[in-house]
Amino acid sequence: MSGNDAAMTAKIEVWWDMNDCPIPREGYDARRVRPSIERAFKELGYTGAVSITGYGDQKQTPCHVLRGLSSTGVTVAHTNSESTRSVMYRDMVEWRGQNPPPATIMIISDQVEGDLSWDLARLQQRTRYHLFLAYSMKPCSDLFLVRKANWQWEQLLSKPSLLLLVEEEGRGLSLSAASMFYCKSCDFNCKSLKKYRKHLSSYKHGLKEAVDPPDTRLLCITKNWARNYPATPEHATAKIVVLWNMKDCPIPEGYDARRVRPSIERALKELGYSGPVSITAYANHNETPVHHLQALSSTGVDFAHVLPWVEYSSMYSDLEAWKVGNPGPASFMIISDQVSGNDESLLYCTALQRSNYNCFLAYSVRPFEMPVLLTSAEWLWDSLLAVSETRGGHTLQKCSGSEMVVASAGMFCCKLCYCDCKSLDAFNKHLSSYNHTKEEHRMLSHMQSQPRRHMLYKISKYHDRML
């Protein structure tokens, strides 16, 4: 029923680097590879049909191994050793284009970490497959890539095999249809092992590999993706929650704060997003001018009072809470300068890999490098705010007109005392109250007595998630 359940019975596609993760030399029967992989999946409840392609320099692979693999329906693909990784990845990207989810993918390789995991994590944020990894020597330790398991290859193979059973099934399997031999260097394929061996030792093949070998560089395809995408139908009318760090992205001098909400809404609408937008402004609101508070709250912007060193973690933990009540499709927008690097975007990008969310970003400074977080749209804060200005007074009218009536007056929350106020007056009163001031002092002194990073997470209540 849910996407999750569908994935448990959907097909499973396996890309296996036979150079990195070879079949153990000592008497291991190649026919055990498939049942071992199938068994590992079944133990986790994945029952879909498994397709396996083994990549590597097949001139080096003994004949009995090739025969063993093909007799169990494992496809064999030849590449030269240096290109194995890039060819495998290219094939995976192509497969994704032709096989929309639900499906499960597995990569057996020691070289996932780095540019491959970066690009794959970005792909997974747009199109979500259940992802499994296996490694022989070097596990992928990149935290931003969400996977269901990271198996050790030899352990996976060494589990008691159901070989006999599979042999029985194997006879029923139409092997001629199931197993193929490919040469990725020549774009050649055949179904006969004899013909395949002949091809690999042919002059034509040798020449092709010498003159025009497959590219060894990994092509990160998401690098060329556009920054702003029009909304897909399922996201077009879905909810949008906006978390706005007012310190990073302040209201410019002389700017009418009532225009912030219509500017954000207008920018989103231009891309086809017309779902209800809720906005929360994070800052030390003791320092926010009263006329800004008034103007923003009149347009239904909520406030969260936070101390400077917890604003980011507070924004993130609020997003975590929002996710519970808002499963995808839905969108969140982060207005902040702290999401540009890979470390900072880690939490958001894993959220996108798990659920059907879109992420929008606005910042006052464009990031130096492309983060692993895959956004559906990005704006410079100043140009986003200028959106309503360039369209003349029209938007402001709208702002006090019918569109805005539905929005409730802003909510005011003090993140220090966990105190919700219903009105701006009550909020201002709270921020200058004895109890609040005492709490702020208490936190300040506590903070100074603790290592900074430690406190950051402690206060924000997600200490066990971040590190």
Choices 178-186, 210-218, 368-376, 453-461 (CB under 5 A): range interacting with Zn ion: 178-186
| Pairing state between β 302-305 and 149-152 | unpaired
Tell me phi and psi for residue 3, to 5 degrees.
Answer: -55, -35
Helix (H) or strand (E) holding 204: helix 203-211
Among 236, 409, 417, 466, binds Zn ion (CB under 5 A): 417
14 touching Zn ion, by CB under 5 A: no
User: Tokens 């017309």 sit at which residue?
Assistant: 274
Please identify, using beta-carbon distances, which residue of 251 and 414 lies nearer to Zn ion.
414
Please identify, using beta-carbon distances, which residue of 205 and 235 lies nearer to Zn ion.
205
Give the tokens for residue 11. 């097909």
H helix and E strand count, the chain:
22, 16
Please identify, using beta-carbon distances, which residue of 215 and 382 lies nearer to Zn ion.
215
Among 186, 268, 346, 359, binds Zn ion (CB under 5 A): 186
Among 414, 424, 447, 456, binds Zn ion (CB under 5 A): 414
DSSP-assigned letter for residue 251: P
- Binding to Zn ion (CB under 5 A) within 252-311 occurs at none
Spatial separation of the C-alpha atoms in residues 304 and 315, rounded to whole Å? 9
User: Tokens 């394929």 sit at which residue?
Assistant: 189
Give me the least distance between CB of 84 and Zn ion, in Å please: 14
Do the Cβ atoms of 165 and 35 come closer than 8 Å? yes
75 touching Zn ion, by CB under 5 A: no
Give me the least distance between CB of 56 and Zn ion, in Å please: 14
Residue 260 sits at the vertex; the CA angle it makes with 259 and 262, to the nearest 5 degrees, is 65
Give me the least distance between CB of 446 and Zn ion, in Å please: 15
Beta strands across the sheet bearing 104-108: 149-152, 130-135, 104-108, 12-17, 50-56, 75-78, 181-183, 188-190
- Binding to Zn ion (CB under 5 A) within 188-217 occurs at 205
106 touching Zn ion, by CB under 5 A: no
Give me the least distance between CB of 429 and Zn ion, in Å please: 11
Q: What are the distances in angstroms from CA 92 to CA 85, 105, 134?
A: 11, 9, 16
Q: What are the distances in angstroms from CA 219 to CA 56, 112, 211?
A: 18, 13, 21
Among 61, 185, 345, 395, binds Zn ion (CB under 5 A): 185
Give me the least distance between CB of 90 and Zn ion, in Å please: 16
Among 196, 436, 455, 460, binds Zn ion (CB under 5 A): 436
Give me the least distance between CB of 436 and Zn ion, in Å please: 4
130 touching Zn ion, by CB under 5 A: no
Give the tokens for residue 341. 């690097």
Give me the least distance between CB of 240 and Zn ion, in Å please: 28
Do the Cβ atoms of 238 and 275 come closer than 8 Å? yes
416 touching Zn ion, by CB under 5 A: yes
Give me the least distance between CB of 247 and Zn ion, in Å please: 18
Please identify, using beta-carbon distances, which residue of 273 and 282 lies nearer to Zn ion.
282
Contact residues toward Zn ion (CB under 5 A) are 183, 185-186, 205, 414, 416-417, 436
